[in-house]
A and B are shown apart, each in its own frame.
Chain A
Amino acid sequence: MSALFPHRHLLGIEGLSAKDIVSVLDTAEVFYEVSRRPVRKVPTLRGKGVINLFFEASTRTRTSFELAGKRLSADVVNISTSTSSVTKGETLLDTLKTLEAMRPDVIVIRHPSSGAALYASQKVGCSIVNAGDGTHEHPTQALLDAFTIRRAKGRLDGLVVTICGDVAHSRVARSNARLLGMLGSKVRVVGPRTLMPADCAALGVEVFDRLEPALEGADVVMVLRIQQERLQGALIPSLREYSKTYGIGPRTLRYAQPDAVVLHPGPMNRGVEIDPATADGERSMVLEQVEAGVAVRMAVLYLLAADPGTGMTAG
């Protein structure tokens, strides 16, 4: 546990203070520079073990945590459901206890059940990092988004951030709404009412039905992935109509600030929630987000696992 970040786990943005969040972002700045050096490795977590335990498919989050651990010289092991005992019927509790017996310092967990990261933290002695639990939280995504926005805009306070799309099923939206609200941004959400959770305002956001007014004056446009399976749930009639009414592209972006930036947590459905020209355009922060992801996750692992007194770049 570090004085900068007085927590044993990172389970969600809820439970963190604004000061904690700024600590992570400031620490990530240092590691961002490290990742741009010719030798992108520091000995900070030498001898430490990090297990990435992923019960859902993931490319960028898992790779990002893996690289973050490796750049800090930790021993990193990846476990995904297809290769684990879960396919043999092992419970989450048994999987956690088995991994704990191998004495890791950090378990990074992604699980389809909301609350799974908290549950894990109650069952094992090591640090737990939530890499996405059901539709609850995805704190490192919100931290990397905040990092990206702060770099692009120089601040978070006073910004208008519009989150577009499937808020009901999005842990990214929940974590971002909490984080950005705490740091002084005004957060709006927009989408068809079928994709808004009940009592959405409880997330501390302003809720909009239509895209254009929601984008009016926005400094940041955060686009959420729309999933094909929402068609089966009778939540949207077609991807075509969704794209037409809620897709982010040159036409709709006109309502936002001229210097507004566009974020997407990925993977993108080009031509559905985001126009390809916008995804690849100069306002797009998509690749910046990916780069920030490694730095932010290095910061999180450092703050949770480094021995007291260990410098950020020294062993």
Chain B
Amino acid sequence: MPSHDAPPRAGSAPPSDHGGRPVHDADVLVLRGGRVLDPASGHDGEADVVIERGTIVRMGRGAAEGFEGEGVTSIDCRGRWVAPGFIDLHVHFREPGQEYKEDIASGLRAAAAGGFTAVCAMPNTRPVNDNRAITELMVARAREVGGARLFPFGAITLGSKGEQLTEMADMKDAGAVGVSDDGVCVMNAAVMRRALEYAATFDLMVSQHCEDHHLTAGAQMHEGAIATKLGLRGWPREAEDIIVARDVLLNVRARARYHVAHLSTKGAAAMVREAKARGQRVTAEVTPHHLLLTDHALLGYPTSCKVTPPLREAEDVEAMIEALRDGTLDCIATDHAPHSPIEKDCEMSAASPGMIGLETTIPLLLGLVREGKLGALRLIEALSTSPARISGIEGGRLGPGARGDVVVLDPDLRWTVGRDTLQSKSLNSPWLGHELTGACMTTFVAGKAVWER
């Protein structure tokens, strides 16, 4: 019998530490003179980072002194930001089943190119990742590919149908970091209650897609004045708020590691804030697009802006930024949802929801930093330290002993989003064709460069 006693160190069984292009395959890697942002220690200032055999051994001003000569690779990081590799709790890699949109190889390349060293793949594959065999397949595939590490989420219920619980303990053994029926909500409160209790037994994170489907039948976008003008069926905020409220109540006794996926409403943010103040066990993520766009983006019916939950109103965007600043929203997750022109070059009602996000997150959110709406250290924390803490994935810090998962950013590099610049197979981004500022220059996984711009 497998043991479930071990603490949730999903990172202790790294599925894919090796592979990628061995650009800097030296024993010792020295990142010199960058602006080093390490939220775990609160460090934000010029420093060196020294990585030896995949592990950080020194970090600080002058830390590189004495590291020279044979076997030492030195990288000049002046003018660059050096941060812990990002961890994304919410991506869709479409493998198995819809590899024409994305597969684990292209998805992990896109992750590395965006500065992500670990990603959590949602289970809405075809078939649904609701059993050990599919979890194992995804983990094995990622190990084969190498580069950024992949941690699958298993489904909460068989087929994500909301009825019967999956073999969560078995999937955890196979490498699942948590459970979620993402794409659909567990609508039945009794099933959700048991899912929370059962997942808590095995210390698995439960990520909920909060949507009362009765309130969103036929919905194409956020309910409001813009939906009324466009004649599109609206998704009211209450559809999200009701499920957050219900789950928070159910979790008072269940005490599971309950996590709100892609939170989008001011009301849900307020509820999570209050629940945390009462000491309840709840965490939440927000996507870059819910931090930046409103329902006005739907004018002209661009299918690239059709997402679930939908783009809300300016007051929600403000509430998201405020909640991210004060820690109500723990982390940023992309909800990277690749689709091909088959799903997106069509009339609105036929379009699938979702947009890609891995490779645009950094430039877009650096915009919030430049505008003074978000601190640089908080941004890095929400992309690395916080998701590591929530998920148990090892990473999110730069101190001695930490994994050599490090990203080097150029905050000023300008580039245009397009086929030539993206690693993802899909182009369903509202920023397609836009020039953005800021890019990930090098991504190290366990000290190995898996991405270089």
Binding site for B on A (CB under 8 A): 14, 91-93, 111-116, 118-119, 133-137, 171, 174, 197-200, 202-203
Contacts and interface: CB of A to CB of B under 8 A. Distances in A.
Contacts of B413: none
B349 A114 contact: yes
B231 A136 contact: yes
B230 A114 contact: yes
7 contacts: A111-B347, A135-B231, A137-B231, A198-B223, A198-B225, A202-B226, A202-B228
B345 interface: yes
Nearest to B348: A115
A115 B224 contact: no
Given A93-B346, A118-B300, A198 B236 contact: yes
B225 A202 contact: yes
B234 A198 contact: yes
Name the residue in B228, B231, B233, B342 with the highest tally of chain A Cβ atoms < 10 Å from its Cβ.
B231
A198 B301 contact: no
Given A135-B231, A135-B232, 12 more contacts: A91-B350, A93-B346, A112-B349, A114-B232, A116-B347, A133-B231, A135-B233, A137-B231, A197-B234, A198-B225, A198-B234, A203-B229
Contact of B347 (A92, A137, A174): A92
B228 A115 contact: no
Contacts of A199: 224-225, 228
Contact of A114 (B223, B224, B301, B342): B301
A114 B231 contact: yes
A116 B230 CA distance: 11
B227 interface: yes
Nearest to A233: B217
Contacts of A118: 300-301
Interface in B199-242: 220, 223-234, 236
B351 to A, nearest CB: 9
Contacts of B301: 114-115, 118-119
A290 B383 CA distance: 61
Contact of A93 (B225, B233, B345): B345
Contact of B231 (A92, A119, A134): A134
A23 B225 CA distance: 30
Given A93-B345, A113-B347, A197 B232 contact: no
Interface in B322-374: 342, 345-350
A11 to B, nearest CB: 11
Name the residue in A93, A116, A171, A197 with the highest tally of chain B Cβ atoms < 10 Å from its Cβ.
A197
A113 B228 contact: no
B217 to A, nearest CB: 8
Given A114-B231, A118-B301, A199-B225, A91 B349 contact: no
Contact of A91 (B224, B225, B346, B348): B346
A113 B225 contact: no
B204 to A, nearest CB: 37
Nearest to A120: B347
B350 A202 contact: no
Contacts of A111: 347
A115 B234 contact: no
Contacts of A114: 220, 230-232, 301, 348-349
Contacts of A93: 345-346
Nearest to B301: A115
Contacts of A174: 229, 231
A25 to B, nearest CB: 24
B231 A198 contact: no
Contacts of A14: 229
Given A119-B301, A198-B225, A136 B346 contact: no
A113 B223 CA distance: 17
Nearest to B236: A198
Contacts of B230: 114-115, 136
Contacts of A119: 301, 346-348
A171 B230 CA distance: 10
B56 to A, nearest CB: 51
A216 B446 CA distance: 76
Contacts of B346: 91-93, 119
A81 to B, nearest CB: 14
Nearest to A118: B301
A113 B348 contact: yes
A174 B229 CA distance: 8
A113 B300 contact: no
A112 B348 CA distance: 10
Contacts of A136: 230-232
Nearest to A135: B231
A122 to B, nearest CB: 9
Interface in B263-320: 300-301
Interface in B239-277: none
Contacts of B234: 197-198
A116 B223 CA distance: 20
A133 B347 CA distance: 10
Contacts of B342: 91
Nearest to A92: B347
Contacts of A198: 223-225, 227-228, 234, 236
Contacts of B345: 93
A235 to B, nearest CB: 12
A93 B300 CA distance: 17
A112 B226 CA distance: 19
A-B CB proximity, top 10 nearest:
A136-B231, A115-B301, A202-B225, A199-B225, A135-B231, A113-B347, A113-B349, A114-B231, A197-B228, A116-B347
A14 B230 CA distance: 10
Contacts of B232: 114-115, 134-136
A203 B301 CA distance: 18
A297 B349 CA distance: 27
Contacts of A115: 230-232, 301, 347-348
A119 B300 CA distance: 9
A18 to B, nearest CB: 19
Contacts of B226: 202
Nearest to A138: B231
B349 A134 contact: yes
Name the residue in A118, A199, A203 with the highest tally of chain B Cβ atoms < 10 Å from its Cβ.
A199
